[in-house]
Amino acid sequence: MKRDLLSINSISKQEIEELILSAISLKKKQKAFESYQPLKGKTLGMLFEKSSTRTRISFEVGMLQLGGHALYMNWKDTQLGREESEEDTARVLSRYLDGMVFRTFSQKTLETFAGSATIPVINGLTDLLHPCQILSDLMTIAEKKRDFKQLKIAYIGDGNNIANSWINASIILGLNFHLACPQGYEPDREIVEKAKDAPSKIKFSSDPFEACQDADIINTDTWVSMGQEDEYQKRMEAFKNYQLNSALLKVAKEDVLVMHCLPAHRGCEITDEVADGKHSIIFEQAENRLHMQKAILEMFLTQKREGK
């Protein structure tokens, strides 16, 4: 039976750990110019309603390096742009392809598509969740700090899809995760309630200095996500005290690492000094999207297909 990666909750703790080890191994192979093509002859569809740089390129290059082929489809260029249903599109594409990466606004749209597809569907981002990013971030932390379960991981800023996915990962892995968001911009309520019932060390605050106190990792993201452009001025005012800057780094550990999933709006959620400073691993984090996407593709596209 086919499986989808719609959320980090789609996989177990053991599978998360397997993906991290696999991604690190695939990275070593790529750096050593070692050919590894377990997906030779397979085709990945990439249906995007939202624009993308890292997700699109990492999946396309990753599929190529694994021996397969990736086909990019802009939502508006398909019949979905002319009101064909997600269900019918999923049924048709399942007869052409071996897997799908789906990037859209609504988590419900993604789940509707996946429910009708007979091939694995991977969440390339929705407004609610971004599991591939967090899996890649965990890989990066594992490379730099080894046992991320012993670390204090802080996140400051908008309670968006990145924050939601970090909370989900923290519940599964038992992470020490501290999050600070301004009032009115907290993470998804249902996800927060699940976190409160979990034994994990997840703490919620509106104080960025409290969240970053003695932190090993500080993570942030844009204050204005795709589709929120009309809220720009309101958000700039609400988040002005949540900038990741040198003052915040002073309350963290001396060897703190700074993460940002990009794109960064420098001078807003993060300063140039921090983004380009000695604590930053932003670009290593971006590079690792390639290696984690490859691990995800190998895990999900080597499943036995329904009916075969």
The verdict on whether 132 is a catalytic residue reads no
CA-based end-to-end distance of the chain:
10
| Nearest CA among 120, 109, 110, 99 for reference residue 3 | 120
Catalytic residue among 103, 235, 260, 291: 103
3-class secondary structure per residue, the chain: CCCCECCHHHCCHHHHHHHHHHHHHHHHHHHCCCCCCCCCCCEEEEEECCCCCHHHHHHHHHHHHCCCEEEEEEHHHCHHHHCCCHHHHHHHHCCCCCEEEEECCCHHHHHHHHHHCCCCEEEEECCCCCHHHHHHHHHHHHHHHCCHHHCEEEEECCCCHHHHHHHHHHHHHCCEEEEECCCCCCCCHHHHHHHHHCCCEEEEECCHHHHHCCCCEEEECCCCCCCCHHHHHHHHHHCCCCCECHHHHCCCCCCCEEEECCCCCECCCECHHHHCCCCECHHHHHHHHHHHHHHHHHHHHCCCCCCC
The verdict on whether 133 is a catalytic residue reads yes
Instruction: Name the token pair of 282.
Output: 């932003």
Catalytic residue among 178, 221, 235, 268: 221
Catalytic residue among 107, 133, 285, 293: 133
Catalytic residue among 54, 130, 178, 260: 130
Cα diameter, the chain: 58
Catalytic residue among 132, 181, 212, 261: 261
Catalytic residue among 235, 279, 289, 291: 289
The verdict on whether 103 is a catalytic residue reads yes
Catalytic residue numbers, as ranges: 103, 130, 133, 221, 261, 289
